[in-house]
Structure 1
Amino acid sequence: MKVLGITGGVGAGKSTILDYLNRRYHARIIEADKVGHFLMEPGQKVYYHIVETFGSGILRGDQSIDRQKLGKLVFDDQEKLVKLNSLVHPAVKEYIASEIEKERKEGKVPFVAVEAALLIEDHYDTICDELWYVYADEDARRRRLAASRGYTSAKSDSIMKNQLPDEIFRESCQFVIDNSSEIVQNTYEQIDRGLKEHGIL
């Protein structure tokens, strides 16, 4: 069973790719973001580490972590952000590795697709067989972010400038899906070809 890492800039359309891999091929999809949210829930080890580090002021009335409050706390403080990432990211990767192991043992899915914004920076190549880059030109990404999330041009700018440049994505990944087109069939055909050519299936 192969493990495919999916990455790309904000607004590139990674969700479209994951949805297709799940619907068409019944792949197990693991999203690092969702795993992070799960590990921050009360009762999880990461939850206690975060509360211990940042204090009970980040908690809601029901004792869950208010991610907005936490975000504001670390947004302008590089040291706090590094600390938060050091608590969350390794735990997320460890959890994903254990889920992959479970899927290997059960042998019920054709492959696993792992999506993470920091797939390259957090060295997911150690647990993935291949990394795939979902590319979309900047105009397409801006349009999508405005339509789906209501982002202003300035907000899109601020996120994009903190992400890896296109050439680093291309150097680090074994396959590129160009998802700039609004004709989704074009994207699906690239995925089908990539899965066959790269022996994922």
Structure 2
Amino acid sequence: MKFIGITGGVGAGKTEILKYLAGREDTKVMLADDIARELSEPGQSCNEKLQELFDGTDVFDEKGKMNRPKAAAIIFKDEARRNGMNEILHPAVKEYVLHVLEQEKEEGRLRYLVLEAALLIEEHYDEICDELWYIYTSEENRRARLKQSRGYSDEKISEMFESQLCENEYRRHCKVVIDNNGTTEETIAQVRTIIENEGENTNG
């Protein structure tokens, strides 16, 4: 089984690629955001610490359920809380991922285990992944997609771009680069080719 980490800038269009991979019988896809959300739920490992972090705000309701948009608005302006949230969630997400990795290795059913994470490189997932894939889309196309799909302003998009790694950094760390500037079909064809070639190399 190969453990693949997938990353790319905001608006790169990773969703369709992940959807294709998740549809394969030999592949399991994990999303770091979904794991973090699950670990933040009432009764889960990070919930109590996060409630302490956001004490004095209305981020959590009386049942301990987090209002994510409110949390996002606060951490956007409050660096201390943003760092605190990262310190709580990132190690917990990594621990969860490592647990699933060990479990899937033992069961031996999968050909690929895939993890998508915005901070894949920053959080040193290259140390546990077999290889990293970078989904490349030009800034111009990403900007157009974010305006259309999420209604973001140019100012908000620029702020988001500035907070992420530059293209050279992604390319430096990632073994595979998938060009997602064309149609979804063209992108999926690239992914299929990579997987087929790897299958031939493994069999050879």
Please report how far the alpha carbon of residue 116 of structure 1 lies from its aligned counterpart in structure 2 after TM superposition: 0.2
Q: Give the letter aligned to residue 126 of structure 2.
A: D
Correspondence for 2:149: 148
Contact 2:136 2:181 in 1 (8 A): yes
SS of equivalent residue, structure 1 residue 151 = coil
Correspondence for 1:195: 195
What TM-score comes out, normalization by structure 1 length? 0.92
Please report how far the alpha carbon of residue 134 of structure 1 lies from its aligned counterpart in structure 2 after TM superposition: 0.1
Moved more, 132-141 or 24-33: 24-33
1:98 aligns with 2:74: no
Question: How many residues matched?
Answer: 200
Correspondence for 2:85: 84
Q: Give the letter aligned to residue 131 of structure 2.
A: E
Aligned 1:107-118 pairs, distance under 5 A: 107-118=108-119
Moved more, 188-197 or 78-87: 188-197
SS of equivalent residue, structure 1 residue 131 = strand
Distance 2:39 2:99 in 1: 14
Residues 173 and 198 of structure 1, relative CA distance in 2, 3 Å threshold? farther
Correspondence for 1:129: 130
Q: Give the letter aligned to residue 105 of structure 2.
A: R
Distance 1:7 1:161 in 2: 16
Q: Which runs of 5+ in 2 are unaligned?
A: none
Correspondence for 1:75: 76
Correspondence for 2:45: 45
Please report how far the alpha carbon of residue 25 of structure 1 lies from its aligned counterpart in structure 2 after TM superposition: 5.2
Q: Which runs of 5+ in 1 are unaligned?
A: none
Correspondence for 1:21: 21
Residues 45 and 101 of structure 1, relative CA distance in 2, 3 Å threshold? same
Q: Alignment identity in percent?
A: 41
SS of equivalent residue, structure 1 residue 45 = coil
Please report how far the alpha carbon of residue 63 of structure 1 lies from its aligned counterpart in structure 2 after TM superposition: 2.4
Correspondence for 1:6: 6
Q: Give the letter aligned to residue 54 of structure 2.
A: F
RMSD (Å), alpha carbons: 1.7
Please report how far the alpha carbon of residue 104 of structure 1 lies from its aligned counterpart in structure 2 after TM superposition: 1.4
Moved more, 19-28 or 127-136: 19-28
Q: Give the letter aligned to residue 84 of structure 1.
A: M
What do the CA deviations read for 1:155-190 (whole angstroms, capped 9, x no partner)? 211111111000000001001000011x22211121
Distance 2:67 2:188 in 1: 37
Distance 1:107 1:142 in 2: 41
Please report how far the alpha carbon of residue 198 of structure 1 lies from its aligned counterpart in structure 2 after TM superposition: 4.3
Contact 2:41 2:64 in 1 (8 A): no
SS of equivalent residue, structure 1 residue 114 = strand
SS of equivalent residue, structure 1 residue 121 = coil
Q: Give the letter aligned to residue 159 of structure 2.
A: S
Please report how far the alpha carbon of residue 73 of structure 1 lies from its aligned counterpart in structure 2 after TM superposition: 2.5
SS of equivalent residue, structure 2 residue 163 = coil
What TM-score comes out, normalization by structure 2 length? 0.91
Distance 1:130 1:13 in 2: 20
